[in-house]
């Protein structure tokens, strides 16, 4: 039976704001020995009580791995204001801060640390691995390029994108002058609202079913994010310099059913761009993006691939 331990640690590149997380120990863990460890990064607007901790860190621990899942800066139980901000730099720093913490543990082998992420957390983790070479092997499960997703959402054309950026700039000015922080919903509030908005994409439909129902809902992951920080997302590109810097062994696992969150296409794009020759792209036929969040058969297949991948490289 696995055991867990709630932890906190500092993100020293973000003025030492405190992050909350959880260690997942395999059965009969021996603290007198050095062990490899895997960092598990949650999706956007999420927390570690959802898929990263509940599914992936738990299942990896059952496979014998020491895993760490945590709430990213500005999200979940972790510190950072305005809360529920989705900031690429901070999300990337979160991965590095988790490794900093692992480096302090006497039972972790600092030369055998891997990292993985789900959805947007996958994109941020792949981004971190480009320049943090403490990550010896990296994986993405339905990894998403949230920069492209946000640009497509807020900029159906260049004119619209600039208009939205100008409005976000005005909101940031207002907040600097004392206005309340503006939040916008990450998803339509219900399936009925989705239909009324004319949205028929499978990823949006299943996201609502995951995040806004007991299936995946968590109070620390409200359906909202800060409007004035969206420009940082619009400028984010995890593919940048991947052809030069993405040198670690790479595993990408996606579902074969494409949708709005783009993990199917991004998986191919990042696989093609990555500099490493030690890489694999696994496509699970008939599996959707959100099937890889919590559905037993797809997640078991994903974890089996992760176990094999990390096992051979850590």
Average pLDDT on 90-116 reads 98
Instruction: Read off the pLDDT of residues 283-295 as tens digits, 9 standing for 90 and up.
Output: 999 999 999 999 9
**Domains, the chain, with CATH or none:** 3-150+237-313 (3.40.50.1820)
Determine the pLDDT at residue 104.
98
Q: Where are the beta strands (DSSP E) in the chain?
A: 3-11, 17-25, 35-41, 66-70, 108-118, 135-141, 183-184, 225-226, 250-255, 279-284
Whether residue 75 is predicted with pLDDT greater than 80 in this model: the reply is yes
Determine the pLDDT at residue 63.
98
Distance separating alpha carbons of residues 22 and 71, to the nearest angstrom: 9
Q: How confident is the model at residue 270 (pLDDT cuts 50, 70, 90)?
A: very high
Contacts 24+ apart (CB under 8 A), 210-215: 210/290, 210/293, 210/294, 211/45, 211/46, 211/186, 211/187, 212/187, 215/294
Instruction: Read off the pLDDT of residues 12-48 as tens digits, 9 standing for 90 and up.
Output: 999 999 999 999 999 999 999 999 999 999 999 999 9
Distance separating alpha carbons of residues 110 and 115, to the nearest angstrom: 12
Per-residue DSSP letter, 76: T
> Within the chain, what is the greatest distance between any pair of CA atoms?
60
Whether residue 106 is predicted with pLDDT greater than 90 in this model: the reply is yes
Whether residue 112 is predicted with pLDDT greater than 80 in this model: the reply is yes
Across the beta sheet with 3-11, what order do the strands follow? 3-11, 17-25, 66-70, 35-41, 108-118, 135-141, 250-255, 279-284
Per-residue DSSP letter, 221: S
Determine the pLDDT at residue 36.
98
Determine the pLDDT at residue 184.
96
Instruction: Read off the pLDDT of residues 177-206 as tens digits, 9 standing for 90 and up.
Output: 999 999 999 999 999 999 999 999 999 999
Handedness of CA 216, 218, 224, 228 (dihedral sign): negative
Residue 252's φ and ψ, nearest 5 degrees, are: -125, 130
Quickly tell me which residue has 């890889």 as its tokens: 292
Q: Give the side-chain half-sphere CA count within 13 A for 282.
A: 21
- Angle (CA) 58 55 84, round 5°: 110
Determine the pLDDT at residue 131.
95
Cβ(129)–Cβ(115) below 8 Å: yes
Strands 17-25 and 3-11: antiparallel
Determine the pLDDT at residue 157.
83
Determine the pLDDT at residue 16.
97
Instruction: Read off the pLDDT of residues 151-163 as tens digits, 9 standing for 90 and up.
Output: 999 987 889 999 9
């Amino acid at each position: 039976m696995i055991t867990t331990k709630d932890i906190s640690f500092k993100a020293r590149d973000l003025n030492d704001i405190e992050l909350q997380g959880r260690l997942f120990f395999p059965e009969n863990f021996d603290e007198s020995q050095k062990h490899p460890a895997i960092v598990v990064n949650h999706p956007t607007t999420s927390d570690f009580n959802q898929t990263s901790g509940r599914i992936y860190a738990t299942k990896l621990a059952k496979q014998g791995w020491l895993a760490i899942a945590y709430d990213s800066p500005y999200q979940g139980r972790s510190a950072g204001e305005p809360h529920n901000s989705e900031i690429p730099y901070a999300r990337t720093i979160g991965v590095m801060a988790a490794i900093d913490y692992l480096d302090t543990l006497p039972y972790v082998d600092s030369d055998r640390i891997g990292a993985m992420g789900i959805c947007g957390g996958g994109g941020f983790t792949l981004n971190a691995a480009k320049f943090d070479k403490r990550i010896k092997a990296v994986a993405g499960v339905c990894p998403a390029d949230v920069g492209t997703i946000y640009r497509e959402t807020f900029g159906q054309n260049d004119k619209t994108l600039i208009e939205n950026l100008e409005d976000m700039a005005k909101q940031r000015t207002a907040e600097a002058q004392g206005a309340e922080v503006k939040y916008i919903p990450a998803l339509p509030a219900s399936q009925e609202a989705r239909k009324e908005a004319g949205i028929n994409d499978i990823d949006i439909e299943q996201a609502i079913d995951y995040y806004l129902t007991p299936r995946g809902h968590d109070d620390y992951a409200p359906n909202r994010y800060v409007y004035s920080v969206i420009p940082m997302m619009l400028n984010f590109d995890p593919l940048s310099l991947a052809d030069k810097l993405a040198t670690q062994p790479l595993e990408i696992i996606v579902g074969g059913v494409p949708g709005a969150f783009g993990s199917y296409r991004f998986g191919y794009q990042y696989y093609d761009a990555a500099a490493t020759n030690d890489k694999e792209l696994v496509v699970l036929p008939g599996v959707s993006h959100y099937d890889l969040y919590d559905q037993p058969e797809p997640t078991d297949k994903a974890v089996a691939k992760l176990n094999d991948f990390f096992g051979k490289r850590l």
